[in-house]
Amino acid sequence: MFASENGLKGDPRLDAISRSIRVIPHFPKPGIMFQDITTLLLDPKAFKDTVDIFVDRYRNMGIDVVAGIEARGFLFGPAIALAIGAKFVPLRKPRKLPGEVISESYILEYGTDCLEMHVGAVSPGDKAIVIDDLVATGGTLSAAIKLLERAGGEVVECACVIGLPKFKVNSKIKGKPLYILVEPTEIDDFC
């Protein structure tokens, strides 16, 4: 569900967050409108508002784990985890974590990829949320859910700063609720 449909309709913070996201046409390949959150990070108020909205949502849910998807989930996840008293668990690309890991492969439109997590990072029964910057197809979030559940965690919800409009109709990933702050920023001269 989009935040504007869940108690934050008309909240000026959502407009400010949306305005702070820069669009880079044709990156990384022709036809893609890349949603660049680095400009959001350069705006301390918009960045704080983004984290605060997530913190307000998850503060009283008894969350044990905030799992951040590499790499942009690492930008929001630790701040949320600290504010709600949860541990932060990085979900990384292959061969980035030292020590023993468990992994989950997933299919992309152009191939396959994989997420890894340290063995023991999530305990059976831990209540978890998954955070990332953007959801387009849901493939990466689905892999994150599978990985956390294989470790015995209970995924409560997935959260993204940006979500494609199609998620207004189906706001679940693998049966888990999906919470999104804003839709992608559009530009008029994209061709």
Residue 148 has pLDDT above 50, yes or no: yes
- 91-109 average pLDDT score: 93
Residue holding tokens 């990332």? 132
- For residue 76, the SS3 value is helix
Instruction: Report yes or no: 90 and 74 within 8 Å, Cβ to Cβ.
Output: yes
Mean pLDDT, rounded, of the chain: 93
Q: Would you place residue 189 in the very low, low, confident or very high pLDDT band (cuts 50, 70, 90)? A: very low
Q: Would you place residue 142 in the very low, low, confident or very high pLDDT band (cuts 50, 70, 90)? A: very high
pLDDT tens digit sequence for 115-126: 999 999 999 999
pLDDT tens digit sequence for 4-35: 988 899 999 999 999 999 999 999 889 888 99
Residue 145 has pLDDT above 70, yes or no: yes
- For residue 140, the SS3 value is helix
For β-strands 87-91 and 65-69, DSSP reports them as: parallel
Residues classed as catalytic: 72, 109
Q: What is the pTM of this model?
A: 0.94
Q: Which of 144, 101, 83, 149 is nearest to 159 (CA)?
A: 144
Residue 190 has pLDDT above 60, yes or no: no
